[in-house]
Amino acid sequence: MRRVTFQLIARALLRKYNIRNIRSIHLAQALSRGHLKVIEQGTILCKEGTDSNEMYVIVQGRVQLLKKNSNGKPTELMMIEGPSLIGQMGLIDGSRRSASCVAAEKTTIIRFSESCFHSLMKEQTINGAAFRHQVMFTMINQLNNTNQKIGALIEEV
């Protein structure tokens, strides 16, 4: 059952990000190195300004990204729906969390510790390559979405 679950998660991620040069079995094997769990609505995955020591695959459900405004009030940046990755940037560049992430509903996640993440990123196997491609495609997608939002804001001015 567990193997089938990771295989389905891998297929969903590859479809969402239109990644064609990876087989789902290899991504599934990489994903299986994380810890699959269900979290309740309101669970805080990470807090803005804290050290980055984990990343998450949102399998099913939604996670709200919140950033404090100039008054210190948490303001929603966006809602991330599964399947998607969050928290990888801080593990790549060593930065602190740029936003808080809170489960908006009951959500299924795969948690990757910092050591597991770096191990997969360095791993010279097809599974490691599949994981790196997924991280890269997710970050490209997030950057494109951010650029679109900035473009829309500029047009409003």
Per-residue pLDDT reduced to its tens digit, 94-109: 999 999 999 999 999 9
pTM equals 0.90
- Cα–Cα distance between 61 and 41 in angstroms, integer? 10
pLDDT for 4 equals 60
Alpha-carbon Rg for the chain, nearest whole angstrom, is 16
- Residues β-bridged to residue 152: none
Sequence-ordered alpha helix ranges (H) in 17-125: 24-31, 88-93, 114-122
pLDDT for 149 equals 81
Instruction: Tell which wins on pLDDT, 37 or 142.
Output: 37
Written as one letter, the residue type at 119 is S
pLDDT for 110 equals 98
Structural domain boundaries, residue 50:
2-156
pLDDT for 46 equals 96
- Cα–Cα distance between 83 and 118 in angstroms, integer? 21
- CATH code for the domain of 142: 2.60.120.10
- Cα–Cα distance between 90 and 104 in angstroms, integer? 22
Specify the number of domains making up the chain: 1
- Over residues 1-31, the pLDDT tens digits come to 566 699 999 999 999 998 988 999 999 999 9
Q: Decide if 31 contacts 11 (C-beta within 8 A).
A: no
Taking residues 76-93, what's their average pLDDT? 94
> pLDDT-derived band of residue 152, with 50, 70 and 90 as boundaries?
confident
> pLDDT-derived band of residue 90, with 50, 70 and 90 as boundaries?
very high
The token pair that represents 64 in the structure block? 């709200």
Residue 84 has pLDDT above 80, yes or no: yes
- 126-156 and 114-122 helices, crossing angle to 10°: 110
Residue 91 has pLDDT above 90, yes or no: yes
Residue 112 has pLDDT above 70, yes or no: yes
- Cα–Cα distance between 42 and 64 in angstroms, integer? 9
- Going edge to edge, which strands form the sheet with 44-46? 44-46, 100-103, 62-68, 74-81
